[in-house]
Amino acid sequence: MSNYLKDYIPKIILASASPARKQLLINAGIQVIVSPTDSDEDILTPISPGETVQMLSCRKMDNYLFSNDVKQTSILTCDTLVYFENIPYGKPNSRIQAFQMLKTYSGNHHFVYTGYCLIYKNKKFFGFDKATVYFKNLTDKQINDYLDTKEYENAAGSYRIQGRAAAFIDHIDGDIATVIGIPMKLLLKTVEIN
């Protein structure tokens, strides 16, 4: 078996506008075609965090397949949510909300769940991964300086670990790619056995 995702999926349609997700795939040596899909991300029924991101990823895939006629192609959709004390933190609606999120992480840990839905060999595969992120103690100035960069905008949980927020991290238990937005190790396992 190969240790490289590109050996199984040399080319993929990424149904997401996330530059971070695109970069993860490019870094893995995969040719990426970006073709975003719009999807309702409302959670109507309370379910576990893992089931939530998995369901949202599959909903995105269903919407993509409904709107696009694609065959013999690998397609990937993902969804990421941050959970702090069992409360889901999605993308912030404002700078104030982003500040509050980052303030709650300070000196604490939280969980990042990323779900995926993959069309591979004309079959649908889905699942999720979880990582635990431990933040250093942050001052209000550090948070505000970060918010000034606007990097928090459109980011699940109000930060991008692959960007300036890397300085806030004490350590991570799990796959950093899961925190960035694609559970790469889990995807590799999925394609290796199918």
The CA distance from 183 to 71, in Å, is: 24
Distances (CA, A) of 161 to 17, 21, 90, 96, 180: 17, 12, 15, 20, 6
Q: Please state the φ and ψ torsions of residue 158, each to the nearest 5 degrees.
A: 75, 15
Does the active-site annotation cover 140? Answer: no
Among 7, 6, 12, smallest CA distance to 120 is for 12
The catalytically annotated residue of 69, 79, 170, 175 is: 79
Which residues does the annotation mark as catalytic? Answer: 79
